[in-house]
Chains A and B, each alone.
Chain A
C-alpha cells in the first residue's frame, strides 16, 4: 500500500504538470464535481461557485456550466453511483481541502481492503494455498495498481462486491 501511495504521489505531480489524467480522463470531471460539492458543503451560494479559481480553470469551467445547467446550483438530484462518488470526493475535499491525492489514497485503500476481504473469503472457502496466491497476484494486478492511482469511481463498486461476497462467505 505504501508503494502504491508513493506511486500515486508521483502520478499526482505528473497530472498537476501535464494538466490531464491520462489513465482515466473522467478524473477531471469527478474532481471538478467534487469541488462543487465541497463548496456546497462549505455553504457557498450559486453565484460564488463561478468565482472559485479551481472551477474557473479552462477544463473545469465547461464542467461547471454542465453541473449548473443540470443541478441548478444545488445538490445532486439523483443518488446514482456517480453522484455518490462525487459526494464522497466532496467530503474528502471538505476535510482536507482541494487535494486530489487524498482521493487517490482513498481509492488505493478501497482496492487494498477489497483484496483483503476476498483473501479472507478465499482462505475460508478454498484453503491457504489458493488464498496466498490470490493475495500476491491481486495486490500487484495491473488494473488494481494503475486505476487506483486515478479518481475512478470503479473501486467503490469493487469494494461493495467484495463486501457482499465477504458477508456471504467470509
Chain B
C-alpha cells in the first residue's frame, strides 16, 4: 500500500505463493517496511490497542456464545451458569464485559488524539469518517451486548434506547414496534439483539480494514502535524512502531487486568444482577459509563424529539470536523488558542459524563444544559472561527528538525535506508 513493494520472497514456497497471491508483499509493505514518522509518541499506540481489543472481544464473545441462551426466560440464568459452572466462565465474561469498557476507553483516547493533532485534516478526511462510522457501530454493538444478560438494567436500557426512535414523527410508533417484534421489549427483541450483537463486530472488523487501508494511503499524521519530506523523517514500522505499540499495549493490559481481577463489577451496575422485570423500572437508570456524555445531552434538552436530535448530532457532527476546523495547521502544538479550547472541550465532555450519571434534577440539569451548549458551540462556532483569528506558531522545517537538535543533515539517513515520501 506504500507504493511499490520491495519485498523479495526468499523460500521457494513463498516465491511460488507470491506469484499467485502477493500476500507476503502486502504484509511486508504494510507492517514491516511501512515508513512511519520518527516522532510518533505513545498517543499513537492506541490504534494497535484498539485492534487488539476488537480481537479480544470477538474471541471471548464467540466462546461466551457457546454457553449463552438468547431467550427471555433463560438468558439471565445462562449468564449465571457461565459465571458459576462453565470452566473459566467467570474469566471469559469479565474479559468481555470489562473489555467493552477498555475498548471504549482506548477509542476515546484515540479520538481525542486525532482531535488534538488535527489528524482528520486533508488528506485524511475519509480515514476520519471511517473512524466515526466504527465508533457508531461500536455504540450499537455495545448497547445490544449490554441487553443480553437480561437483568433490570439490560431490560430498561433496551426500553429507553429503542423508545428514542418513537420520537420520529409519523412513523415512530411503527418503527419501534418493528424493532421490538412485539408491543413491548420482549423475547423477540432479545433474540434479534443477540443475532446483531454477533454480527456487528465483524462489520466493525471490515470497516477497520478500510480504516487501515485509508491510513496507509495517506500515511500517518504525527505530533508535528507536517508531512514526512525525506527519508530521515521516517523509520520502518518494524521494529520501531511494532515494539513501541507492543510495549504500550502491555501497559494498557495491566490496567485491563486490574479491572478483571480486582474490581470486575466496578464499571457495571448492581441492578443488572436482578432479573429483568417489565413491571418495575429501577429508580435510577443510567447507561454504561461510556455513553454518559451523550446521555447527558439527551436529558439536557427539554423536548423529546429535540433531545434525540441533539444526541445524534453530537456524534454525527464529528464526521464533519475536517470541514468545521478551518485552520491549515494540523497539530495543536503549534496552535496556542486551539490547544486551550481543546482541553476545555475535553473537560466539558468529562463534565457531561459526570452529569449523565447524576439524577436529572436541579443544578445538574442546568449544568448539563450549559455544557451541552458548549459542546456544540465548540464544534460549530469556535472551531471554524479559530482558523481565521489564531496566529499559529512557526512550523518546524521537517519532522526530523522537530525532534532532533538541528535535524539530521540532509543525506544522513539515521538508522534506516532513506526512502520515498510516505
- Co-assembled chains A and B: no
